[in-house]
């Protein structure tokens, strides 16, 4: 078992006188001693058990025979915590038995520093205590506060400390509290007995004086003095002050001194008392203002101000003061000022009063009177505006001097003619503001005195200007308080919020302010609201503000049909802080495509409630649709089937501004078809043979969006109704009907039944739908085909079988041919005739014998007859004897003669 040792030699206090002794030393060590009465047998083991912290500690005494073992020392971790120390005996059988238990309490850590402040809501009776102490391993229940209240010693236990701070609000005003000390107190109850331990005092003792209460019922009276009395009084004391001889003056002395006006706070100033220190022994006589004392100071009048008790004020203790000064205006008669007050409310400890007299805000007289003086008299020999204040001071004891707050500041005015104008105490009532236009407003109020413009001051200040950074201010005129005597406020800025206060004025005196009234000018609203689309789901709004105007922010609202809530209403989308820039813009994303929106931008001012303008600054817009997506294109039987999708699965077109779909196929011809928005398929009749740029456009009232175009290429169609319209022996004219789009036609004719050795004819390319194929053989059959070509793609060919005509002769050739044939026939006939008559006339031929007979048949058979002889019958006849051919001619009834 471990034994924690502490340093020996530290002082200790014994908390139990039993044979089993436990003491707590100043260094927070617990010392446990074993006495002879506690020893049962030296063979036993003696163990100390200490509880109190998060775990238990066990310590064993050293083995001993005749001499008792040394004490066990435990270093306690916590200060101000109670510990239970138990003595246990362990026999030879290892059975432990508690013998005795003692409870001890350690001392808490002392407080390291103390601060005392005035309790601002009530500095006369309240103070704020702030203490600092070690927080770790330090336990306490209350704080003991000890101090001297004047000559009485006080002490009390206080426990309402929060984070080391508490407010003590029952001290007496004006009392010097000295030797203030704080101790942490730790308490514990065990077995119906209470243990208490106090920490030591390590901080410096403090002292503090509470603020005394101010005097009550302060009043002033002005008594006019006639000329004779003033001259007689002046003649009695020509070289001395206005107080009179020393032996006539009362026993109490009046001390006066002049301070710089900046060191004397006015009645409306909150005093920070620790900054002012006053001690009656430090008050000395200083030079007086020119309006208070004589011009020449004599050495005989060292004490110029003293307490005096005139006969008319014997019932009260009075301090009398007068002064003599060569007047600047001979017609002004001095007046007597009587200042009176009552002591502060009890129980207030005070030692006198301070009187502060200020004239024209450039000369100040600061005087001190005793605590029994409640009236002050002085002669005022100069006209002007005066301010008086009386405060209580407390200076007894070792604490610093404290002055009360000024309960009331009195103001009055002495005119050069001696007229006394009392302080104005009335403030304007029922102040209201009527806004006449965006730049002017009218003030109205009620009061018992004349409400003309010469008897009031209107103070205007802009609240909006004060809320803006100087670099972001949109107005300049009323950023600082502006005073005027006109009930009409001009040069206001639209949208500004102003605060106005009215003061009543009587001569140079100004009364208390009225209750501040806040009013706001309605802003004029924005102008030039523009909308710039950024796509189907986003737009940019841009606008300008008027040059003369101010606002806190711009509120961007939009009106649309919400498909989630199935309602249409104005909702605020964005708020933009206003700046000095004349132009502002905002991007509005996440809009619904093909949807109707109405946007509104209003100017909002500061104030409660906020003013805004204007609902007329609106702009409507229909967002563009998103682009459709073509998912299917099929061409069948000269018809193109198109399908597309729009948006995602959750897109609802029932409330959108989608009008229709426009399906466009653009090739050499542009084909359009409008489809209702509820249908997403279309059928187009497209001419074959062309390449089309196919797209689907979603159309709204103000915009559209087109899908990604798709290229659709249609194969050309073969010609139909192919005819052979003209045939000759060597040519054929073909005619057909063109279908769809074609760039050109290719015509090819091949002789029917021809083999490979047959020479093929070259194809003919034409751009029209009629062609003539020439260079054909007559009376020949051909197989012809016509193929359509479009965008270098051929169609299926169309076939036709044609035949050329038989050869036809020329008419001249026909006549010649007929004549030739006739001649041949005639010649043949003649030959036959000759053969027939040959024998019959053979004899005749012999008889004739004059000529030579030519055997035409033999000549012809032998091939010896000349070719040119065949051309003419007469050529043959000439070869015959004349008697013979004349007979032949006569046989044919031809008369050769």
3-state SS, 457-526, equals EEEEEEHHHHHCCHHHCCCCCCCCCEEECCCEECCCCCCCEEEEEEEEEECCEEEEECCCEEEECCCCCC
| pLDDT at site 731 | 85
Its CATH architecture, for the domain 720-803, is Sandwich (2.60)
What angle in degrees, to the nearest 10, is found between the helix axes of 811-840 and 882-891? 110
| pLDDT at site 314 | 35
Q: Tokens for 370?
A: 């005793």
| pLDDT at site 7 | 37
| pLDDT at site 6 | 43
Say whether 191 sits in a helix, a strand or coil: coil
Cα gap 215→408, rounded to integer Å: 9
Does the predicted model carry a pTM greater than 0.75?
no
Fold agreement between 216-421 and 429-520: yes
Cα gap 616→437, rounded to integer Å: 19
The three state secondary structure string of 85-152 is EEEEEECCCCCEEEEEEEEEECCCCCECEEEEEECCCCCCCCEEEEEECCCCCECCCEEEEEEEECCE
Report the topology of domain 429-520: Immunoglobulin-like (2.60.40)
Closest by Cα among 267, 338, 318, 258 to 291: 258
Say whether 888 sits in a helix, a strand or coil: helix
Contact 747, 766 (CB under 8 A): yes
**Which residues are bridge partners to 480 per DSSP?**
none
Cα gap 827→871, rounded to integer Å: 10
How many CA atoms does the CB half-sphere of 65 hold within 13 Å? 0
Sheet holding 639-645, edge to edge: 629-636, 639-645, 681-685
Q: Tokens for 467?
A: 């809320």
CATH H-level superfamily of 113-209: Immunoglobulins (2.60.40.10)
- Cβ atoms within 10 Å, residue 111: 22
| pLDDT at site 232 | 44
CATH H-level superfamily of 12-105: Immunoglobulins (2.60.40.10)
Q: Tokens for 290?
A: 């020119």
Q: Tokens for 805?
A: 């005509």
Longest dimension (CA), the chain: 233
Contact 140, 134 (CB under 8 A): no
Q: Is the dihedral of CA 91, 97, 101, 105 positive or negative?
A: positive
Give Cα 89 distance to the centre of its chain: 76
Contact 408, 394 (CB under 8 A): no
| pLDDT at site 861 | 52
- Cβ atoms within 10 Å, residue 19: 14
| pLDDT at site 130 | 93
Q: Tokens for 244?
A: 């009179």
Domain boundaries, the chain: 12-105, 113-209, 216-421, 429-520, 527-622, 629-713, 720-803, 814-891
Which string of b and e fits 224-241 if b means at least 16 CB within 10 Å? eeeeeebeebeeebeebb
Say whether 609 sits in a helix, a strand or coil: coil
527-622 placed in CATH 2.160.20.10? no
| pLDDT at site 128 | 94
Cα gap 230→570, rounded to integer Å: 83
Residue spans of the chain under pLDDT 50: 1-18, 230-330, 850-854, 856, 865, 867, 869-871
Q: Is the dihedral of CA 729, 731, 737, 739 positive or negative?
A: positive
Cα gap 692→147, rounded to integer Å: 106
| pLDDT at site 545 | 85
CATH H-level superfamily of 629-713: Immunoglobulins (2.60.40.10)
216-421 placed in CATH 2.60.40.10? yes
Say whether 824 sits in a helix, a strand or coil: helix
Write down the residue that tokens 């026993």 correspond to: 251
Write down the residue that tokens 């050769």 correspond to: 896
| pLDDT at site 265 | 35
Say whether 869 sits in a helix, a strand or coil: helix
Q: What are phi and psi of 112, to 5 degrees?
A: -90, -35
């Amino acid at each position: 078992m471990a034994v924690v040792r502490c340093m020996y030699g530290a002082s200790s206090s014994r908390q139990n006188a039993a044979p089993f002794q436990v003491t707590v030393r100043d260094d927070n060590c617990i010392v446990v001693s074993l006495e002879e009465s506690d020893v049962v047998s030296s063979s036993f083991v003696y163990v100390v058990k200490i509880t109190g912290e998060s775990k238990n500690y066990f310590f064993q005494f050293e083995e001993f025979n005749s001499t008792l073992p040394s004490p066990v020392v435990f270093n306690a971790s916590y200060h101000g915590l109670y510990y239970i120390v138990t003595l246990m005996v362990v026999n030879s059988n290892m059975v432990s038995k508690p013998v005795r238990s003692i409870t001890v309490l350690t001392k808490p850590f002392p407080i390291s520093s103390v601060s005392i402040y005035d309790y601002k809501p009530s500095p006369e009776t309240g103070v704020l205590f702030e203490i600092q102490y070690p927080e770790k391993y330090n336990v306490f229940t209350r704080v003991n506060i000890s101090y001297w209240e004047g000559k009485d010693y006080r002490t009390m236990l206080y426990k309402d400390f929060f984070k080391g701070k508490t407010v003590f609000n029952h001290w007496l005003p004006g009392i010097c509290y000295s030797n203030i000390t704080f101790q942490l107190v730790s308490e514990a109850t065990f077995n119906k007995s209470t243990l208490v331990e106090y920490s030591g005092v390590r901080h410096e003792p403090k002292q503090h004086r509470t603020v005394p209460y101010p005097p009550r019922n302060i009043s002033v009276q002005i008594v006019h003095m006639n000329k004779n009395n003033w001259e007689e009084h002046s003649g009695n004391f020509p070289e001395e002050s206005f107080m009179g001889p020393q032996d006539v003056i009362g026993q109490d002395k009046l001390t006066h001194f002049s301070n710089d006006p900046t060191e004397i706070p006015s009645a409306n100033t909150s005093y920070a008392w620790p900054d002012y220190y006053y001690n009656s022994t430090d008050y000395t006589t200083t030079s007086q203002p020119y309006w208070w004392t004589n011009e020449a100071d004599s050495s005989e009048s060292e004490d110029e101000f003293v307490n005096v008790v005139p006969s008319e004020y014997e019932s009260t203790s009075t301090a009398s003061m007068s002064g003599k000064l060569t007047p600047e205006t001979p017609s002004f008669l001095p007046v007597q000022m009587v200042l009176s007050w009552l002591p502060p409310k009890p129980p207030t400890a005070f030692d006198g009063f301070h009187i502060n007299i200020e004239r024209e805000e450039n000369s100040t007289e600061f005087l001190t009177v005793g605590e029994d003086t409640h009236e002050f008299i002085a002669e005022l020999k100069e006209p002007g505006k005066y301010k008086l204040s009386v405060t209580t001071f407390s200076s007894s004891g070792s604490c610093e001097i404290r002055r009360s707050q000024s309960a009331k500041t009195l103001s009055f005015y002495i005119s050069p003619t001696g007229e006394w104008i009392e302080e104005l105490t009335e403030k304007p009532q029922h102040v209201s503001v009527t806004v006449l236009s965006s730049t002017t407003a009218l003030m109205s109020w009620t009061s018992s005195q004349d409400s003309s413009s010469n008897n009031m001051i209107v103070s205007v200040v802009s609240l909006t200007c004060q809320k803006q950074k100087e670099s972001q201010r949109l107005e300049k005129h009323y950023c600082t308080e502006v005073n005027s005597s006109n009930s009409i406020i001009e040069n206001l800025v639209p949208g500004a919020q102003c605060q106005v206060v009215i003061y009543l004025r009587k001569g140079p005196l100004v009364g208390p302010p009225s209750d501040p009234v806040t009013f706001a000018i309605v802003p004029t609203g924005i102008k030039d609201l523009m909308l710039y689309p950024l796509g189907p789901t986003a737009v940019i709004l841009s606008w300008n503000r008027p040059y003369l105007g101010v606002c806190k922010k711009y509120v961007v609202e939009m009106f649309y049909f919400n498909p989630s809530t199935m309602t249409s209403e104005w909702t605020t989308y964005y708020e933009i802080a206003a700046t000095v820039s004349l132009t502002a813009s905002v991007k509005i994303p996440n809009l619904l495509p093909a949807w109707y929106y109405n946007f509104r931008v209003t100017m909002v001012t500061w104030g409660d409630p906020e003013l805004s303008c204007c609902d007329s600054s609106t702009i409507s817009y229909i967002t563009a649709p998103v682009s459709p997506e073509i998912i299917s294109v099929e061409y069948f039987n000269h018809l193109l089937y198109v399908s597309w999708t729009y948006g995602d699965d959750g897109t609802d077109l029932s409330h959108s501004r989608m009008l229709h779909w426009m399906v466009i196929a653009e090739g050499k011809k542009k084909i359009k078809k409008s489809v209702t928005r509820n249908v997403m398929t279309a059928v187009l009749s497209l001419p074959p043979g062309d390449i089309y740029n196919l797209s689907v456009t979603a159309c709204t009232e103000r915009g559209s969006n087109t899908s990604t175009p798709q290229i659709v290429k249609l194969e050309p169609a073969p010609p139909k109704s192919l005819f052979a319209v003209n045939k000759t022996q060597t040519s054929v004219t073909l005619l057909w009907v063109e279908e769809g789009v074609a760039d050109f036609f290719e015509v090819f004719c091949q002789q029917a039944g021809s083999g490979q050795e047959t020479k093929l004819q070259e194809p003919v390319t034409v751009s029209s739908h009629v062609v003539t194929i020439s260079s054909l053989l007559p009376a020949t059959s051909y197989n012809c085909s016509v193929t359509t070509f479009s965008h270098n793609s051929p169609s299926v060919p169309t076939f036709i079988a044609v035949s050329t005509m038989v050869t036809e002769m020329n008419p001249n050739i026909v006549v010649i041919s007929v004549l030739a044939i006739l001649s041949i026939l005639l010649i043949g006939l003649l030959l036959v005739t000759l053969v027939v008559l040959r024998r019959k006339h053979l004899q005749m031929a012999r008889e004739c014998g004059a000529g030579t007979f030519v055997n035409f048949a033999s000549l012809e058979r032998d091939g010896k007859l000349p070719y040119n002889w065949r051309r003419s019958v007469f050529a043959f006849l000439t070869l015959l004897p004349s008697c013979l051919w004349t007979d032949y001619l006569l046989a044919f009834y031809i008369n050769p003669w």
